[in-house]
Chain A
């Protein structure tokens, strides 16, 4: 019995070491905060558009699968991601909407003119309130919304080729056929 007690420290250490091993998984990002809205209805929003644009509202999604991308002209990783967004709509066959986060409309327009406009429609969220409703904590972030208007997945940080091919595309296809 007494001997067992002496084994306790090493046993506890083994448990801790196993957790550490699991935590070392290179796919794990400790700063990543999972979305609190997965499988919940997307927040209702109605944003104005850029100069001459029609704006963006949740009601306008009309029971379709949609991708919503939060971006800003002052955001360096958004620039990195932008080429992948061009033509994304064609590739995945569902609308790609953009929401400009805490950006002056003039700056957003300049950004899009320079890099191209991949979006079906753009909403201007200068105050950032809509983003807060979505639970955005940095840009870029991309949300997949299903036919019932629920958020099904969130991508934090710029999209990558592998994320688009491996996760975004399959999910969209699955949602399209549900």
Chain B
């Protein structure tokens, strides 16, 4: 009964989405306030209905309701509760429902918080959101319906892939979808602006927070996925340039270009058509990612159960959404009035450079990911493209980006002083040089790329501090003055410094992975092996049962200077239902380096393979991502966004809006 309610709510949501995509659009063209307002009610109603539907599905998993086919395919009564819940989105149907849930959430948010948007723009934005909703809801209802029945209902289900039975599943997909789907708002704004034929600073003031929020979520989502792979896979790999990893990385790259470009639209009224294109492309890449993962055209560890019918359907969606918006762009964008004038060497110029490099980087990833597919479909040789390609193409592109990240914020708007900026960055340059020289002394010329990476990280990190120091006149004015300036700097300014600094931290972590040390040995109880100044003593394994697995748990003492500083317990778990073994690694981190220990195969004589790695700065990869996301959130909390929301209350005042 409840299941049918959930199913019905979903279908009703589809009907409402259809309404939402048409009525407000018509109302906007006719300037009819009542019709335009339909958009807001529809968006909220759509969200409520989908939320209800989702809640019903979660309930079905939690109560192990095996009358639903997806629950049979993906769940099992002995699964721990956390994984029953997270298992809802661990499969194609459930994750699509999560997708539209977040889509409708963003639509409802625009409806609820968009009171001070011009009604016409708001109506059009909600209409476009509605169209996307219609597309995906029809896809779900007709090809990927989570409420299809299993008849007769079996006594128990087939369980979930053991690799997914991990807390990572609780966070990685939701954050990823908040990111991917969040960019739909920027997309809707872009298309709405094209329909209206106008882009102004107010538009940018709206687009930037939504894009930024999506970007923060995507940053965290990607970082989580990477970290999850790192601690699950048993050798510490965290990025393989797998098609699905790339599918999330491309929107991130273009999304980064978007949030910077939107700044220029807001402040300088320039780069409008470029920003619109970025907004369309970012979400388009999210859609392409959805296609790649669910259509079966590429092999990937991430690919959901594939079905070419679904693939065809998503392709149609792609053609309508991306083809439609890009055609609209080709028709309408040339008419957009160009805005502020600026010199090539200026902050705007730096952002243009940033855009060029980041989109080229995204294009490179796109090419590398899809080239084997393209060759294969035209009957060419079967090739594979892996990290050697990306190391030779993507990494060199990032070098100028990183150099520019430190310089750009020091250039003034409209016309910047490059020489002055570079002179002020001498500290950063000195730091980079120092890092490089120390590295060369310790490690020699062989890891030259890694040393370059570390030097660039120092350049960016110290550069961010230099930029802040310039603004507060550190050491050039009395401490009182500096303190006063520091307190009055807008949050967005701190946000930028923090986010750029976070980038430096991540880059350092990535570069330092070249200095990893490993020791892999077959060990018997009582054996010890050295690694990076520690001594690891293996004390044997014990067997232990789990709710749906049996585990071999090893005891490894970590000793330093004769003392045991920690005891680690790497495990191997065997899941009888799926006949699969997963490994649970044990990691000791001091946030500067990870000591990573995994349990390998046992041999016949009672020994086991122990794989120990010492990974310097590796935690920084994900810490840097968190810092970047924090910077983004800080920027979101800046007064200007809040001012934008509160402006309605200030309408009676005659004074111009603050910040202008």
A and B physically associate: yes
Give the chain B neighbours of A13 by CB distance below 8 A: 284, 322-323, 326
Interface set, chain B 294-336, CB cutoff 8 A to A: 295-299, 308, 311-312, 315, 318-319, 322-323, 326-327, 329-330, 333-334
In the complex, whether A106 has a CB less than 8 A from a CB of chain B is no
Write out the residue numbers on chain A whose beta carbons fall within 8 Å of the beta carbon of B323: 10, 13-14, 17
Chain B 261-284: CB-based contact to A (< 8 A → 1; otherwise 0): 000000000000100010011001
Q: Is the CB of A34 within 8 A of B382?
A: yes
Q: Using known A-B contacts A30-B298, A34-B382, determine if residue A17 contacts B315 with beta carbons closer than 8 Å.
A: yes
Segment from B342-350, B372-380, B622-630, B640-648 that makes contact with A: B372-380
CB proximity to A under 8 Å, residues B352-384: 370, 373-374, 376-378, 382
Interface stretch of the complex, out of A18-26, A42-50, A97-105, A133-141: A18-26
Q: Is the interface of B mostly helix, strand, loop or mixed?
A: helix
**B286 shortest CB reach to chain A, Å:** 14
Q: How far is the CB of B275 from chain A (nearest CB, A)?
A: 14
Interface residue A31 (Cβ < 8 Å from any Cβ of B) = yes
Give CA–CA (A17, B329) in the complex, Å.
Answer: 18
A13, B378: Cα distance in complex, Å? 17
Which of A2, A3, A9, A16 has the largest count of B CB atoms less than 10 A from its CB? A9
Point out the residues of chain B lying under 8 angstroms from A10, CB to CB.
323, 326-327, 329-330
A7 to B330, CA, bound (A): 5
Could you tell me if B281 and A9 are in contact, using CB atoms closer than 8 angstroms? yes
List the A side residues contacting B288 at CB < 8 Å.
16
Q: Return B526 CB to nearest CB of chain A, in Å.
A: 34
A27 CB, min distance to chain B CBs, angstroms: 10
Task: Kindly state the separation between the CA atoms of A92 and B298 in the bound complex, as whole angstroms.
Answer: 36
A26 touching B329, Cβ below 8 Å:
no
**Is the Cβ of B318 less than 8 Å from the Cβ of A20?**
yes
Judge whether B468 is part of the interface by a CB distance below 8 angstroms. Answer: no
A19 B382 Cβ-Cβ under 8 A: no
- Which chain A residue has the least Cβ–Cβ distance from B374? A19
A-B pairs with beta carbons under 8 A, tally: 68
- CA–CA, A99 to B326, complex, Å? 56
In chain A, positions 53-94 with a C-beta closer than 8 Å to chain B are none
CB distance from A98 to the nearest CB of B (A): 26
In the complex, are the beta carbons of B330 and A23 less than 8 A apart?
A: no
Q: Are the C-beta atoms of B296 and A30 separated by less than 8 Å?
A: yes
Q: Are B318 and A24 in contact (CB under 8 A)?
A: no
Count of A interface residues, CB-CB < 8 Å: 23
Provide the bound-state CA to CA distance between A60 and B246, in Å. 50
What is the CA–CA distance of A27 and B333 in the complex, to the nearest angstrom? Answer: 41
Whether the Cβ atoms of B333 and A19 lie closer than 8 Å is: no
Q: What B residues does A26 contact at CB under 8 A?
A: 308
Residue from the list B284, B291, B377 in contact with A22, Cβ < 8 A: B377
| Minimum CB distance partner of A4 in chain B | B330
Evaluate contact between B334 and A2: CB separation under 8 angstroms: yes
Q: Looking at A2, A19, A21, A23, which has the most chain B CB atoms within 10 Å of its CB?
A: A23
**Which residue of B280, B281, B319, B329 is within 8 Å of A6 (Cβ)?**
B329
B299, B326, B373: residue with the most chain A Cβ atoms closer than 10 Å? B326
Known: A10-B323, A33-B382. Is A20-B330 also a contact (CB below 8 A)? no
Please name the residue on chain B nearest to A18 by beta carbon: B377
CA distance A22 to B330 in the complex (A): 26
Whether A24 pairs with B322 at a CB distance below 8 angstroms is: no
Taking A19-B373, A28-B377 as known contacts, 4 extra A-B pairs with beta carbons closer than 8 A to each other, sorted by chain A number, are A10-B323, A30-B296, A30-B373, A30-B376
List the 5 closest A-B pairs by CB distance, nearest first.
A10-B326, A22-B377, A23-B297, A26-B308, A6-B330
28 pairs, CB–CB < 8 Å, chain A vs chain B: A2-B334, A3-B334, A6-B333, A7-B330, A9-B277, A9-B281, A10-B323, A10-B326, A10-B329, A14-B323, A16-B288, A16-B370, A17-B315, A17-B318, A17-B319, A19-B370, A20-B291, A20-B318, A22-B377, A23-B297, A23-B373, A23-B376, A24-B295, A25-B308, A30-B298, A30-B376, A31-B299, A33-B382
